[in-house]
Every structure is written in structure tokens, then in C-alpha cells.
Amino acid sequence: MAIALEDRPRTGDHGHRAGTRLDVEPHEIQTSLPGRRATFGLFVLAAVFYGWIGYRTTIGSHVVVFDALDRLAGSYLVWHNDPPKLAAIGFVFPPITTMALLPFAVVKPFATSLVALPVASAMFAAGTVVVLDRTLARCDIVPRLRYPLLAAFGLNPFWLFYAGNGMSEVVYSFFLAFMLYSFISWYATTEPRYLISAGFALSVLVLVRYAFIAWAVLLAVLIAVALIRRAARAIEVEGSVIAFAAPIMYVLALWVLFNSLIIGDPFGWVTETLTSTQAINAAGISDSGSLGVQEVARRLVELNLAVFPLAFVAVPALVASFVTQRNDMALWLASFVVLGIVIIGVHAYAADKESLLTLRDSMPMYVASFVGAAWLYRSLPAFRLPVFAVTIVLLIVGMFTAWNGMKTYPFQSLEQAYTRALFSGDDQEGRSSRGGYTVGIASEARMADYINKEIPQKKASILADDAQTFGVILLSGRPQNIFDRIDKGDTKFRQVLARPFGKVDYLLFATNARSGDTIRRAYPDASTNGVPGLTVVFRTGRYVLVRVAQAVPAAATNITTTP
């Protein structure tokens, strides 16, 4: 009998057994979640479509983004280096993107042909569409309305580009969509399992893109405030925040520990990402001059108009919904969009680099704005048809604004080249793209081909900075012949670099002076045969291969390398 009394709701409680009810007004689910067959069919359809588009543009037209190439090379070295090492994942950039490519790099030809890039992205992009489909269903949107919305979202050229190029944007979009779905599900049902899954998703997000740490802090505060405003018991507030934050804190603690044990700097991943070197395929763009608040604001508006114009309507409407309906989820979704804009603006302003305001940084706001519009549909039953109409119109408008932004916005990652290749299928190899890039991997392929044909596989040792020559290492498929920092550590690498004679047979380095190649910095005159004992044997547009004398030349005794 005592148990029965405990189960009864106390005066003033809403009586929801799963926890404190967050909806002010009772809300009944009007649309069932998609079934397994529908979900599987949607996934397969999206994966095949995105994989085909990605293959045409990335492999066929050679629109290869070098950040994605770098991550694929890292995952390839995890499996096929001599010996294989998990250290190839790296400790500077967020590790999950490289780890996400690991299953696709197991088979050598799959990785060295770069087919792994569009296939991996297509899988995550299809997963994102599936999760968004469930999110729309959770927001009471019926299938005949969901599928047009998903089509308008998924056919945006900006989304198409990242759904097939192997970049991290589509990876974190999947986990971001899953996190938003979990939060909406928790808000609608107050079942703790959804809060835990949201925390898990965000714990992965922070290791795909460190900026999501700010999202995690904001969400923990908003969860506590929302529950307190609903007169939840202190134990429920504390338990909910802990359930959400525990996976995030655990993952961050492990990452700090690994950096401390292996690198010797627990927070090096924070400071290192604040500095950057120029990409291997970049000709160079000017970052000089003081970047003012007005310029940052202007660029942010351009990004908003180009990638996620839906936010211009969704964010004010979400704020109004919060004010009039005590709709905390509306405030959260609006906060995500605004916080995302603020983060990229502050980053560029603090670094005084306008080039950091890139198109791809808008992806979180694109996804959050879409989910925000869906939540408005749920929150405004009397205005659902107008909300749907405005959303679909703005998504269609966004296709054209994104296309224009990809062609004209100055700071990007081969988006302009993609617009030339998407419909025409023309090879972009060697052509320029906005942002100072030269498209293609012909230089890497030529150097890799020379190494494979002219250098013996069993005995040769090539000293190379894997952070800069990753493309050559991957395309050659011969990491066992490359002596890089992953093999025996940075200290041993620098010792050999200081006196390579008799220790390695060749030096391989990038010619771009701003690329940050360690070997080029140590021997800046080696590319012109200006260093005794170092002879150029092969050169491409981006790389130089230098033969190293086996004995120390007499003239080399006074050589001092640049650290």
C-alpha cells in the first residue's frame, strides 16, 4: 500500500512517471516514428545517391579536399604502416574524423584509389537524413510532408558537396542530428535514456569539432534551468545534468590523459589548433590587416544568406515561441544557431584571420535551423501549414543562395570547383578554385608513381614529414618505405633529420614555403641542389625528392639545420 501511495503524483506535479514534464501543455504524439523498412530504404537510397555524386566529383573530376585526404592517409597508416600504429590518428586535430575512416581504409586499393572518401561520406550523410526523418516524425510531421522537406535539405549543393568529399562536416552532422533528435525525444517523453544518448552524441561531437565543447556547456546550463523552472526536485535536476554531462567529461578526460601520456602536453590540442599552416594545394591568400568587428559581422551575414537563410525566420520565431509558450526547446534550438555563429566569428576575430570564416563552418547552423523549423511546426498547431510552406520555400531558396555562395564567396574549400564539376562532370585537375587552391592530385600521383617505379621497395628509406606529404604516402601505398614522425616518434625523426647521411636514402618534402614542412624548413636550399650531399632526383609541382649521400660530405660538416 505504501508503494501505491508513492506512485501517486504529489500536488502540483504533472504525474509523468518518467520525470518532470517539460511541455507546459499536454502533447500527444500524432505521428508514429518510421518503421525499419522505411528507414532502411531511405538509408540505402540516400547512400547510393550521395556515393554516386561523390564518386563523380571527387574521383572523376578530382575535386579532392586535402583535409579529407590527410585524414584518410592517417587511417591508412593505422592499418598499413610498418609497424601499424594508432598514433597515426594524430593528436592535434580532432581524432574522430580519422577514426570514422578506419573501416574504409582496411582494404588497400579502396584507400589508395580514394574511393573510401565518397563512400564514407555517403554513409554518414545517409545516416543524417535517416535521423532527421525520425526527428521530423517526432515533431508530428507526416510522411507526405517529411519527404519534400528532406529532399529540399538533402539536395542543397552545399550539402551534396560534403556528402561525398570525405570531410568531417558530414561526420559531425550525423552526430549533431542524433543529439538533436535525442534532446527532442527527451523533451517530449522525459525518458532519461534519451538524455543519456544526447550526452553520448555530444561527447563524440567534441572530438570531431572542439567548438562543440561550448555547446555542451550551454546545454548543461539550459537543462538545469528548464527543470528548475518546472519545479523539478533537486535530485532530478542534479541527476539529469550528470546523466547528460558524464559521457562528455569522461571523453574529454581521456583525451587530456592520452595527450599527457603520449605527447607530454595535456592541453596541446587546444593551443595547436589556434595556429595553422597553409594547405599543400594552396597558392596563398592574404590574411594581412586588422580584422574589425564590422568586417566579421558582414562575413557572418554572407554565410547566413548563403548556407542557412532559413535561420533568418526560424531563430526569431523560436525565440517568440519560447516567450509566449515557455517552450524551452525552442530557446535551445535558437541558442544553437546563434552560438554557432558567435563561435566562428570570435575565432576569426581572435586570430585576426578573415579566411577562418569559411563556408564549411556554417554546417552546424544549417542542420540546427532545419530542426528548429521542424520544432516550430510541432509547437504551433494552428499554423502548421504556413510553417511548412515557409520552410520549404526557404529551403528551396537556400539551394540557389548556396550555389551562388559556393561560386563567389572568397574563403572556401574547393566549393567553386565543385560547382563547375557537379553537372558538367569536367575534370578539374590543375584548375584554380577560390580561396587560392589548385585543384587535383596529379602532383601527388606523379611523385607516388616515380617512387613505386624507380625506388626499390625492400631497402629504400625515405624521410618525410607525414603532416605535409600524406598524399604521396597514401597514393604510393608504401608507408613501409617512409620514415616519418609516426614510426619512431618526433625526437628520433628530428635526430635523423639533423644528420640524414647514411641513415636514410632520400628526403621527400613539399615545395610550398608556407606549408610548414619540417624537412623544407631544415634544408631550404635542398630543392635547388644548394646543400652538399643532397641531390634532387625528381620534382613535381608540389614536392621534391632528394637523394641523400651515404657518407657525410666534407662540405656538410658545418651545415646547421633550421629547427
414 and 455 inside one domain: no
Of 90-94, 287-291, 471-475, which gets the smallest average pLDDT? Answer: 287-291
Q: Is residue 433 part of a domain?
A: no
**C-alpha cell at position 69:** 585526404
Among the listed residues 419, 401, 396, the one whose alpha carbon sits nearest the alpha carbon of residue 152? 396
347 and 472 inside one domain: no
407 and 446 inside one domain: no
355 and 220 inside one domain: yes
DSSP 455: S
413 and 519 inside one domain: no
Q: Is residue 504 part of a domain?
A: yes
- 454-466 pLDDT, tens digit per residue, is 888 777 799 999 9
Q: Is residue 51 part of a domain?
A: yes
Among the listed residues 165, 156, 191, the one whose alpha carbon sits nearest the alpha carbon of residue 72? 165
Stretch 30-56: mean pLDDT? 93
Q: Is residue 216 part of a domain?
A: yes
41 and 164 inside one domain: yes
DSSP 155: T
> Residue 495 sits in which domain range?
442-556
390 and 528 inside one domain: no
pTM: predicted TM-score of the whole model, two decimal places: 0.90
Count the neighbouring beta carbons within 10 Å of the beta carbon of residue 151.
14
312 and 376 inside one domain: yes
Q: Taking a C-beta distance cutoff of 8 angstroms, is the pair 501, 556 a contact?
A: yes
| Kind and range of the H or E run holding 502 | none
235 and 326 inside one domain: yes
Mean pLDDT of the chain: 87
300 and 377 inside one domain: yes
Looking at 351, 386, 418, the residue that finishes a domain is: 418
Kindly tell me if the per-residue pLDDT of 12 is higher than 90. Answer: no
Q: Is residue 79 part of a domain?
A: no
Looking at 418, 452, 479, the residue that finishes a domain is: 418
Q: Is residue 25 part of a domain?
A: no
Confidence of residue 555 (pLDDT cuts 50, 70, 90): low
Looking at 365, 384, 418, the residue that finishes a domain is: 418
Residue located via cell numbers 570564416: 357
396 and 533 inside one domain: no
Q: Is residue 29 part of a domain?
A: no
- Note the pLDDT of residue 3: 37
Stretch 117-140: mean pLDDT? 96
| Kind and range of the H or E run holding 101 | none
For residues 272 and 147, the model is more confident at: 147
Of 327-341, 347-361, 468-482, which gets the smallest average pLDDT? Answer: 347-361
- 177-221 pLDDT, tens digit per residue, is 999 999 999 988 888 899 999 999 999 999 998 889 999 999 999
481 and 392 inside one domain: no
Half-sphere exposure of 190 (CA within 13 A, CB side): 20
Structural domains in the chain (count): 2
- 431-444 pLDDT, tens digit per residue, is 999 988 999 999 99
For 18, residues 6+ apart whose C-beta sits below 8 A from its C-beta are 189, 190, 191, 192
Q: Where are the extended beta strands (E) located within 436-542?
A: 437-438, 462-464, 482-483, 506-510, 534-539
Q: Is residue 239 part of a domain?
A: yes
